[in-house]
Chain A
Amino acid sequence: MIYREAGQFKTSYASDQAIFPIAQDRWFVGLATLAALVVPPLAASEYWLQAVLIPLLIYSLAAIGLNLLTGYAGQLSLGTGGFMAVGAYAAFKLTTAFPSLNIIAVFVLSGVVAAGVGLVFGIPSLRIKGFYLAVATLAAQFFLVWLFNKVPWFVNYASSGTITAPNRTVFGVIVTGPNATAPVRYVTALALVVVFALLAKNLVRGRVGRSWMAIRDRDIAAEIIGVRPLRTKLLAFGISSFYCGVAGAELVFLYFGSAETFAFDITLSFLVLFMVIIGGLGSILGSFLGAAFIVLVPILLTNAPQSLGLHLPVALQKQLELMVFGGLIIFFLIVEPRGLARLWQIAKEKLRLWPFPH
Chain B
Amino acid sequence: MTELLYGIAIAPFKDMVGSPAFFAEVLIGGVFAGLMYSLVALGFVLIFKASGVFNFAQGVMVLFAALTLVGLLERGVPVVGALLGTTAVMVALAWVIERVVLRPLVNQEHIILFMATIGLTFFLEGFGEMVWGANVKKLDIGIPDRSFIVAGVQINQLEMFAALTAAVLVAVLGIFFQRTRVGRALRAVADDHEAALSIGIPLKTIWLIVWSVAGIVAIVAGIMWGAKSGVQFSLSLVALKALPVLILGGFTSVPGAVVGGLIIGVGEKVGEVYWGPLVGGAIENWFAYVLALAFLLVRPQGLFGEKIIERV
Query: A319, B127: Cβ atoms under 8 Å?
Result: yes
Query: A143, B286: Cβ atoms under 8 Å?
Result: yes
Query: B119, A333: Cβ atoms under 8 Å?
Result: yes
Query: B119, A132: Cβ atoms under 8 Å?
Result: no
Q: Which residues of B contact A218 (CB under 8 A)?
A: 312
* Known contacts A128-B296, A132-B296, A322-B126, A221 near B105 by CB under 8 Å: no
Q: Chain B nearest CB: distance from A356 CB in Å?
A: 31
Q: Is B246 an interface residue (CB 8 A)?
A: yes
Task: Give the complex CA separation of A277 and B114 in angstroms.
Answer: 10
Task: Give the complex CA separation of A270 and B127 in angstroms.
Answer: 21
Query: B308, A135: Cβ atoms under 8 Å?
Result: no
Q: Which residues of B contact A149 (CB under 8 A)?
A: 282
* Known contacts A319-B126, A320-B130, A333-B112, A150 near B105 by CB under 8 Å: no
Residue of B nearest to A121 (CB): B293
Q: Chain B nearest CB: distance from A152 CB in Å?
A: 10
Q: Which residues of A contact B286 (CB under 8 A)?
A: 139, 142-143, 146
Q: Chain B nearest CB: distance from A349 CB in Å?
A: 21
* Residue of A128, A139, A318, A322 with most chain B CB atoms under a 10 A cut-off: A139
Q: Is A334 an interface residue (CB 8 A)?
A: yes
Q: Is B160 an interface residue (CB 8 A)?
A: no
Q: Which residues of A contact B134 (CB under 8 A)?
A: 315
Q: Is A129 an interface residue (CB 8 A)?
A: yes
The interface-forming segment of A204-212, A249-257, A324-332 is A324-332
Q: Is A187 an interface residue (CB 8 A)?
A: no
* Residue of A220, A270, A322 with most chain B CB atoms under a 10 A cut-off: A322
Contact check: which of B110, B247, B279 meets A132 at CB < 8 Å? B247
Task: Give the complex CA separation of A319 and B132 in angstroms.
Answer: 11
Query: B290, A139: Cβ atoms under 8 Å?
Result: yes
Q: Is A323 an interface residue (CB 8 A)?
A: yes
Task: Give the complex CA separation of A129 and B247 in angstroms.
Answer: 11
Contact check: which of A323, A327, A330, A334 meets B130 at CB < 8 Å? A323
Contact with B along A82-97 (1 / 0, CB 8 A): 0000000000000000
Q: Which residues of A contact B122 (CB under 8 A)?
A: 322-323, 325-326, 329
* Residue of B124, B280, B285 with most chain A CB atoms under a 10 A cut-off: B285
Contact with B along A153-176 (1 / 0, CB 8 A): 000000000000000000000000
Q: Is A3 an interface residue (CB 8 A)?
A: no
Query: A135, B285: Cβ atoms under 8 Å?
Result: no
Contact check: which of A220, A316, A321, A330 meets B101 at CB < 8 Å? A330
Task: Give the complex CA separation of A167 and B119 in angstroms.
Answer: 40
Q: Is A266 an interface residue (CB 8 A)?
A: yes
Q: Is A274 an interface residue (CB 8 A)?
A: yes
Task: Give the complex CA separation of A321 and B100 in angstroms.
Answer: 19
Contact check: which of A127, A132, A146 meets B302 at CB < 8 Å? A132
Task: Give the complex CA separation of A150 and B287 in angstroms.
Answer: 14
Query: A281, B246: Cβ atoms under 8 Å?
Result: no
Q: Is B111 an interface residue (CB 8 A)?
A: yes
Contact check: which of A127, A322, A334, A337 meets B123 at CB < 8 Å? A322
Q: Is A262 an interface residue (CB 8 A)?
A: no
Query: A274, B118: Cβ atoms under 8 Å?
Result: yes
Query: B126, A138: Cβ atoms under 8 Å?
Result: no
Task: Give the complex CA separation of A333 and B101 in angstroms.
Answer: 9
Q: Which residues of B contact A131 (CB under 8 A)?
A: 54, 110, 114, 251
Query: A221, B130: Cβ atoms under 8 Å?
Result: no
Q: A135-B244, A329-B116, A333-B112 are in contact. List 9 more A-B contacts (CB 8 A).
A: A124-B297, A132-B247, A321-B126, A322-B122, A322-B129, A325-B122, A330-B123, A333-B119, A337-B108
Lowest 3 A-B CB distances belong to which pairs?
Answer: A322-B126, A326-B122, A329-B119
Give chain B's interface residues, CB within 8 Å of chain A: 54, 100-101, 104-105, 108-112, 114-116, 118-127, 129-130, 134, 240, 243-244, 246-247, 251, 279-280, 282-283, 285-286, 289-290, 292-293, 296-297, 300-302, 308, 310-312
Give chain A's interface residues, CB within 8 Å of chain B: 76, 124, 127-132, 135-136, 138-139, 142-143, 146, 149-150, 218-221, 224, 266, 270, 274, 277-278, 281, 315-316, 318-323, 325-330, 333-334, 337
